[in-house]
Amino acid sequence: MSGLVPDGETLDEAERRFLLTLARRAIEARACGATRAASVATAAPDGPRLSRLAGAFVTLRRKDGELRGCVGLIGRDHALPETVRRAALAAAFSDGRFTPVAVEELSDLVVEISVLGPLLPVRPEEVELGRDGLVVRSGGRQGLLLPQVPGEHGWDRETFLEKLCWKAGLPPGTWRRPEAELLAFTAEVFSEADS
C-alpha cells in the first residue's frame, strides 16, 4: 500500500529498503540486548529525501496480520532515519497495549512504515478515506489514526471521525464541535510484505 507525500518527494525503493532494514535491525538489536550503535549500523543511500525532517509511524504485525505494536512521532524534530528508529523501538517495546517484543517473536514480525506529510487543517466533509490520516485535538487531548486504518476496518467517514475521538479519549461527536481542531495528513506507506 502506498500513499502520496504532499511535497511529492516519495522515497525510492532503495530508501524504503534502508528504512525497513533500519527499523528491523533496531528492534532486533534491542531484543538481543545490543547497544544503540549496533542497532543503526547500516549504510544509508545518498539523497535529500532521507535527511528531511519528518514524522513517521512504525506498525508491527505478525505474519498472520495481527497487530503487535504501532507507535509514531508526528513532530518534525528528527531526520527521517532517526524518527523511524525511535518509532520502531517504541512500537516494539513501549506500546502499552502489548508486552515488549521477545527474541522468539522476531521472525514472525512484519515491519510497516508510514512516513507522514505535514498536518493541515481540514473540515470533516473534506476528509477523503484512503488518502487522509487524521488528528483531533480538544481539551488538551489528542488522537491520531493513519490513512490506512479506515480501509482495514471498512469504516465510512463518520465512523472514522468517531473512532478518532475515541482514540483521543474524547466524547463521541467531539469532531463536530467548533473548539475541536481537526488536522489531516497524507502518508507514504510501505512494508516488508510489499517485496
* Extents of the domains making up the chain: 13-117+187-194, 120-185
Q: Return the CATH number of the domain spanning residue range 120-185.
A: 3.30.1490.150
Confidence of residue 61 (pLDDT cuts 50, 70, 90): very high
Specify the pLDDT at position 6: 44
pLDDT band at 8 (very low <50, low <70, confident <90, very high): low
Residue 9 has what pLDDT?
77
- Indicate if the pLDDT at residue 36 is higher than 60: no
pTM of the model: 0.86
What pLDDT is recorded for position 143?
A: 94
Q: Which residues lie across from 182 on neighbouring strands?
A: 136
pLDDT attached to residue 35: 54
Give the cell for residue 161. 471521525
Domains 13-117+187-194 and 120-185 belong to one CATH topology: no
Residues 96, 67: contact at Cβ < 8 Å? no
Instruction: pLDDT band for 51, please (50, 70, 90 cuts).
Output: confident
What would the pLDDT profile of 95-124 be if each residue is shown by its tens digit? Answer: 999 999 999 999 999 999 999 999 999 999
**pLDDT exceeds cutoff 50 at 3:** no
Residues 125-132: contacts with CB under 8 Å, at least 24 apart: 126/184, 127/157, 127/160, 127/161, 127/184, 129/155, 129/156, 129/157, 129/160, 131/3, 131/4, 131/186, 132/184, 132/185, 132/186
Would you state the pLDDT for residue 45?
73
Which superfamily is assigned to 13-117+187-194 in CATH? Answer: Hypothetical protein ph0010; domain 1 (3.30.700.20)
